[in-house]
Amino acid sequence: MNSSQPIVRFDRVAMRYEGGPDVLQDVSFALPQGSFHFLTGESGAGKTSLLRLIYLAGKPSSGRVEVFGHDVQTLTRADVPNIRRHVGVVFQDFRLLDHLSALENVALPLRVGGARGQKVRQHVAELMRWVGLAEHMDARPSTLSGGEQQRVAIARAVINRPSLLLADEPTGNVDDRMGMRLLYLFEELNRMGTTVVIATHNDSLVRRFNYPQITLAGGGLNAA
């Protein structure tokens, strides 16, 4: 992929779930490589749907979505995992696997990518200490608080230094101090070249970090 090419491009994109109304309408934007954006909008504005299109969990009903230069409409099932390995996602509902420990959850992207051995454990443990979960590495997610689960989900999303990081309300369950700390982590990743998109309701965070916003309202885009 050409370095001047946007990492994500939406061109007049609409999306609807089966049988329902459009949740996104005529959305166009481009995310340059290495950019940092907040995705804002009220509940139901389509933020999660837009992120789903970027991490290839859905397809547009019309228009064109490009991720890393690939038109998502033409991707085969076999192509998708290779692209997803370059995308870290923090899901709103965390999607942690409860039969695995926190450490094993964080290590999943590395294991799926074929990494094995003690180095994986060291690398994962280091990151978990950084997000304040050193005491909970062997805990099952169901025994952790909402904020701790969220930090496990964030650690899992960033463990393999993705080229694109998508976070859906990543600070929704943590206090302000931890919220700031996580945003600094995202900034650090961004400085190392990761393109970051954070969907959030947290206006104070958006004001404080002052990055460009993509604002959705009623399924459409409000440029900011």
Candidate list 42, 62, 69, 95; residue touching other proteins; CB under 8 A: 95
Candidate list 1, 30, 97, 134; residue touching other proteins; CB under 8 A: 97
Pairwise CA distance, residues 11 & 203, whole Å: 27
Candidate list 10, 38, 55, 186; residue touching other proteins; CB under 8 A: 55
The answer to whether 108 contacts other proteins (rule: CB under 8 A) is yes
Candidate list 44, 69, 113, 212; residue touching other proteins; CB under 8 A: 113
Distance in Å, CB of 56 to other proteins, minimum: 9
Pairwise CA distance, residues 98 & 29, whole Å: 37
C-alpha atoms less than 13 angstroms from C-alpha of 79 in its C-beta half-sphere: 12
The answer to whether 111 contacts other proteins (rule: CB under 8 A) is yes
Candidate list 30, 42, 73, 112; residue touching other proteins; CB under 8 A: 112
The sign one gets for the Cα dihedral 114, 83, 124, 96 is negative
Q: Is residue 8 a contact partner of residue 164, using CB atoms and an 8 Å limit?
A: yes
42 SS3 class: coil
Using CA atoms, how far residue 99 sits from 102, 133, 155, in Å, is 10, 18, 18
Distance in Å, CB of 203 to other proteins, minimum: 29
Q: Which stretch binds other proteins (CB under 8 A): 24-32, 97-105, 144-152, 202-210?
A: 97-105
Q: What is the DSSP pairing of strand 8-16 with strand 62-67?
A: antiparallel
Q: Which stretch binds other proteins (CB under 8 A): 15-23, 112-120, 181-189, 191-199?
A: 112-120
24 SS3 class: strand
The answer to whether 74 contacts other proteins (rule: CB under 8 A) is no
The answer to whether 78 contacts other proteins (rule: CB under 8 A) is yes
What is the edge-to-edge ordering of all strands in the sheet holding 8-16? 22-31, 8-16, 62-67, 70-71
The answer to whether 120 contacts other proteins (rule: CB under 8 A) is yes
Q: Which residues bind other proteins (CB under 8 A)?
A: 55, 57, 77-78, 80-82, 84-85, 87, 89, 91, 95, 97, 99-100, 104, 107-109, 111-113, 116-117, 120-121, 156
